[in-house]
Amino acid sequence: MRVLMFGWEFPPHIAGGLGTACYGLTRGLARNGVEVIFVVPKAYGDEDQRFIRVVNASDVDAIYRSGDADSDIWRHVKFMEINSNMVPYISPEQWEQERSRSEKVGTLHHDGDVWRERYNFSGKYGANLLEEVARYAVVARQVAIELEGQFDVIHAHDWLTYYAGIAAKEVSGKPLVVHMHATEFDRSGENINTQTYAIERGGMEAADLVMAVSNLTRNIVINKYGIPAEKVMTVHNAVRFAEGNQEEEERGVKDKIVTFLGRITYQKGPDYFVEAAAKVLKRTKNVRFVMAGSGDMMNHVIRRVARLGIADKFHFTGFLRGADVQKMFALSDVYVMPSVSEPFGISPLEAMKSNVPTIISKQSGVAEVLDYAVKVDYWDVDAMADAIYGLVTYPALGELFARKGLEEVTGLKWNNAAAKIKEGYERVIREQEAKQQ
């Protein structure tokens, strides 16, 4: 079986869990006998291609012919700057670079009634995000034409690639599977960006099958987007155990270390982590709190830490990636994910595989598959503080959750998730063949 897959990021160039999930899934699919052609807006040449073939959309000429300007993609997409919910994926320096770059999106060549344009995608989440989403769809159409006969099904990850998936389906006639890693309701609560919502809904309506990363997300897809229940299947994420033994990191302090790792945005609940930290520090001074990440709430959180008088026990690392993430887990005694709304949440699995006892919010999809993580409501800072205090104060308790947690996540393998995805592919292919008979 062969799959044409559209993503927005791929390791080592990632901004969050989406790229990590795509990497795990593609490796798992390869081990299940599925060939994957993975298209990204911008490839850097250092992607791991042992299991997949990576196509760089920035190297593909988009071809226009007379009348193409009236296509559905261009008619229904209005270019605009995305609101702040997506901006935290990039640093202030990257923001300035992307704004200056956005004025020059590509080169255009005219030959009779045929126009060729090659877009210089940023592959980021900056000011011209929706424009890149639309142009990515145009390139995806061309990719599907050039790869005719080389794939059996199309798989598009998250709303950023849904237009690309639809365009590829229109020209190839192959079934489309879309993967919902996070909904607009997760990112924005009820104050949603209506255009992003429309893209998400349109992509799922056009798809032959929708894959949700948790039952929590599946219910949102059904109830908030009106997608038929029989069209939506749940495939929980997993965690990859890297080859080799993890080295112990030398610690510069004797205090216990409690870590938050993720985007510092409303969705991830960083303010609740700060409030819980202040409560813990009233009961014990032998603990330090680390916030690893960046985002639009960074300044707010820094000011709140200062006002609470805990700045001497609170550390900000900025955004971490790759080996630095693993080093942070190796230095941690407790990991906390206090997300307000988390479709799944791979980071707790990564912490648990590093022998770190973990606290997660009940409002997360990963809570569906974990028994040996402490679960609290994101807003209950007293319960969160009690859990942190217990794990850093009583060694036997921390050791129990670390040991049982490691045993638990060892069974959550990408190969198993990929096998379920392969079953979904086979289902939509059978259904299409039945319709054609």
Cα–Cα distance measured from residue 82 to residue 126, given in angstroms and rounded to the nearest whole number: 8
Do 393 and 424 belong together in one domain? no
Do 111 and 12 belong together in one domain? yes
Question: CA dist 425 to 47, 191, 217, 287, 334, Å?
Answer: 25, 34, 20, 48, 39
Do 403 and 419 belong together in one domain? no
Which pLDDT belongs to residue 82? 36
Do 423 and 303 belong together in one domain? no
Domain count, the chain: 2
Do 228 and 300 belong together in one domain? no
| Domain extent at residue 379 | 256-410
Do 20 and 131 belong together in one domain? yes
Report yes or no on 249 lying in a domain: no
* Residue 401: count of CB within 10 angstroms of its CB: 23
Report yes or no on 243 lying in a domain: no
Report yes or no on 437 lying in a domain: no
Which CATH number covers residue 391?
Answer: 3.40.50.2000
Do 273 and 232 belong together in one domain? no
Which pLDDT belongs to residue 97? 52
Tokens found for residue 174: 């192959």
Cα–Cα distance measured from residue 307 to residue 313, given in angstroms and rounded to the nearest whole number: 13
- Residue among 377, 351, 354 nearest 364 (CA): 377
Which pLDDT belongs to residue 152? 97
Do 42 and 156 belong together in one domain? yes
Query: From the first residue on, what is the mean pLDDT of each consecutive set of 10 residues in the chain (437 residues)?
Result: 95 84 95 96 91 93 61 44 39 48 48 70 78 91 94 96 96 97 91 93 97 97 97 94 62 91 94 98 96 95 97 95 90 97 93 96 96 97 98 96 95 95 97 88
Q: How does DSSP classify residue 314?
A: E
Range list of H helices, 231-374: 270-281, 298-307, 323-331, 347-353
Which pLDDT belongs to residue 73? 47
Tokens found for residue 69: 């300007």
Do 151 and 39 belong together in one domain? yes
Cα–Cα distance measured from residue 221 to residue 190, given in angstroms and rounded to the nearest whole number: 14
pTM of the predicted protein model:
0.85
Do 229 and 329 belong together in one domain? no
Report yes or no on 245 lying in a domain: no
Tokens found for residue 267: 């969705």
Which pLDDT belongs to residue 83? 39
Strands 61-65 and 114-119, bridge-based pairing: antiparallel
Tokens found for residue 162: 């849904």
